[in-house]
Amino acid sequence: MAKITQIAGRNALGTFAPDFAHFNDDILFGENWNNEDIDLKTRSIITVVALMAQGITDSSLKFHLQNAKDHGVTQKEIAAIITHVAFYAGWPKGGQSLILQKRFGMRTKQRNNLAETARHERVAQNTDVYAVKARNYKGLRRGSPVLCRNNWHIHHAKSGGGQILVCVAGRGYYQEEGKDAVEMKPGDCINIPAEVKHWHGAAPDEWFSHLAIEVPGENGSNEWLEPVSDEEYGKLQ
């Protein structure tokens, strides 16, 4: 395994913060990245995932996307990794990471022939990364926003229980059965009592990321019910 070396810390902060530069160059990149318990390809993937999960899409992620490419991670693999993690870390973070990846030109290192290379480059240049993923959703057309919401459901509990929603990015909606939908923007918080039938999800034309916090209760369970109809969802603005 080729030895990883780093001098960026000393170049940027060597005289201002020498201890930080030492930890960055000698410990993080010098010892940690050269630890052979994890191969460099796997270590590169872990680092991209960790940065994406924190919403870091600046030069740090750009550097580690290139680092992943240099250590054998293909464009197809990194796109699949980011898409998978987006379901757990937040859809907007995944979208931002994919846009950076697309803009930065991550392409597969190993191609069988020039025709295959040209085909992949046309896809990378001309395809909207959001629309590609959106094709897996019912009723969506290429170029449509991702119309994402969950089914009607109920959080049951003998006592206590329920759920707290906190919008952290984008714009979404929460709706209780028999009531108007409530718009959610970053910072908005909704307390959902137990035994209330409801749904929540993204606004039809925007991304939505939120925290769903389970409230402790006795004999708690979740009951998933029918989907929110396209007609009902389509009325939201």
Amino acid found at 4: I
Give the CATH number of domain 153-234. 2.60.120.10
CATH of 38-134, one of 3.40.190, 3.40.50, 1.20.1290, 1.10.600: 1.20.1290
Confidence at residue 25, expressed as pLDDT on a 0 to 100 scale: 83
| Percent of the chain at pLDDT exceeding 70 | 77
Mean pLDDT (whole number) for 56-78:
86
Confidence at residue 136, expressed as pLDDT on a 0 to 100 scale: 33
For residue 121, is pLDDT > 50? no
Q: What six digits make up the tokens of 126?
A: 């001309």
- Which of 107-121, 208-222, 223-237 is predicted least confidently? 107-121
In angstroms, the first-to-last Cα distance of the chain is: 54
Q: What six digits make up the tokens of 216?
A: 């402790």
- What distance in Å separates the CA atoms of residue 196 and residue 165, rounded to the nearest whole number? 14
CB atoms under 10 Å from CB of 201, counted, come to: 21
pTM as predicted: 0.42
Q: Predicted confidence band at 2 (pLDDT cuts at 50, 70, 90)?
A: low
Confidence at residue 152, expressed as pLDDT on a 0 to 100 scale: 93
Mean pLDDT (the chain) is 77
Mean pLDDT (whole number) for 102-112:
49
**Residue ranges, CATH 2.60.120.10, the chain:** 153-234
Confidence at residue 147, expressed as pLDDT on a 0 to 100 scale: 63
pLDDT per position as a tens digit, 20-47: 888 888 888 888 888 888 888 998 899 8
- Which of 78-92, 130-144, 150-164 is predicted least confidently? 130-144
State which of 5-14, 20-29, 100-109, 137-146 shows the largest mean pLDDT: 20-29
Cα–Cα distance list, 120 to 84, 98, 101, 126, 144 (Å): 21, 16, 14, 10, 22
Q: What six digits make up the tokens of 68?
A: 């992943």
For residue 116, is pLDDT > 70? no
**Residue ranges, CATH 1.20.1290, the chain:** 38-134
Confidence at residue 197, expressed as pLDDT on a 0 to 100 scale: 96
Confidence at residue 124, expressed as pLDDT on a 0 to 100 scale: 38
